[in-house]
């Protein structure tokens, strides 16, 4: 019974979170703290922090965390499956439509206008991260508050990606190691 409730809750979270992780957070809070009381508000804050610090989609992290807490490993599996079920159905249908009709002039035209918009969205996500690195979370941004170590690390990573075509996962690992080293030297 509890497994079925978990499943239904996460189907709703999967179905209504359009536009990625940050859309999922309030839905997870509503279902797990307010509707079902599976988590306290403090536990939910823990969940949000862990989801932020670990790789993977926030909704999947949330499903695993809540599922484990409520019903062990079966809970985690059921909640995760519920969370991705709407995607499996809707996106598979879209995939079929895309492959069948993408040669149509109308869809060609729509897709070719969508591509530059997607490029802009990716670029904006990157610039927001860069601002976060340079200024931390602060709203007021002035030159004397710039965190140079993080910015220099960014510049070095950008250079090896563009000039030397390093593998991005290698770049990420190197940045993690550099962060640790700079931190131990008291520079970060």
Give residues 6-65 in contact with other proteins (rule: CB under 8 A): 14-22, 24, 46, 49-51, 53-61, 64-65
**120 near other proteins, judged by CB under 8 A:** yes
Q: Residue 32's closest CA among 78, 58, 66, 60?
A: 66
Distance in Å, CB of 105 to other proteins, minimum: 6
The site string for other proteins over 127-166 (x = CB under 8 A, - otherwise) reads xxxx-xx----------------xx-xx--xx--xx----
- Decide if 48 contacts 41 (C-beta within 8 A): no
* Distance in angstroms (rounded) separating the CA atoms of residues 30 and 86: 19
Question: How many whole angstroms separate alpha carbon 145 and alpha carbon 45?
Answer: 28
Nearer to other proteins, 8 or 57 (CB): 57
Which of 34, 90, 100, 148: binder of other proteins (CB under 8 A)? Answer: 90
Radius of gyration of the chain (CA): 21
Q: Which of 34, 35, 148, 183 binds other proteins (CB under 8 A)?
A: 183
**Angstrom distance (rounded) from CA 98 to CA 123:** 25
Q: What does the block give as tokens for 150?
A: 């993080």
Q: Among residues 3 and 154, whose Cβ is nearest to other proteins? A: 154
Out of 105, 137, 139, 144, the only residue in the binding site for other proteins (CB under 8 A) is 105
How many residues lie near other proteins (CB under 8 A)?
A: 97
Least gap, CB of 104 to other proteins (angstroms): 9
Supply the minimum distance, in Å, between the C-beta of residue 181 and other proteins.
Answer: 8
* Cβ neighbours of residue 89 closer than 8 Å, sequence gap 6 or more: none
Neighbours of 118 (CB within 10 A): 9
- Looking at 1-9, 34-42, 88-96, 137-145, which segment touches other proteins (CB under 8 A)? 88-96
Per the structure block, which two tokens stand in for 37?
A: 């009381």
The answer to whether 148 and 133 are in contact (CB under 8 A) is no
User: Quick one: which of 42, 117, 140, 164 contacts other proteins (CB under 8 A)?
Assistant: 117
């Amino acid at each position: 019974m509890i497994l079925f409730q978990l499943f239904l809750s996460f189907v709703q979270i999967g179905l209504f979170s359009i536009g990625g992780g940050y859309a999922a957070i309030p839905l997870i809070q509503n279902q797990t703290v307010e509707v079902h009381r599976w988590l306290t508000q403090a536990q939910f804050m823990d969940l949000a922090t862990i989801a932020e610090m670990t790789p993977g989609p926030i909704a999947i992290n949330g499903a695993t965390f809540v599922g484990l807490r409520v019903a062990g490993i079966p809970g985690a599996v059921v909640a995760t499956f519920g969370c991705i079920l709407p995607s499996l159905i809707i996106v598979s249908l879209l995939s079929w439509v895309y492959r069948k009709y993408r040669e149509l002039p109308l869809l060609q035209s729509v897709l070719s206008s969508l591509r530059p918009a997607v490029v802009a969205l990716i670029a904006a996500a990157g610039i927001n991260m860069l601002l976060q690195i340079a200024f931390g979370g602060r709203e007021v941004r002035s030159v004397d508050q710039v965190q140079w170590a993080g910015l220099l690390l960014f510049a070095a990573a950008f250079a090896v990606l563009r000039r030397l075509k390093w593998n991005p996962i290698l770049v990420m690992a190197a940045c993690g190691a550099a962060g640790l080293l700079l931190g131990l030297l008291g520079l970060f």
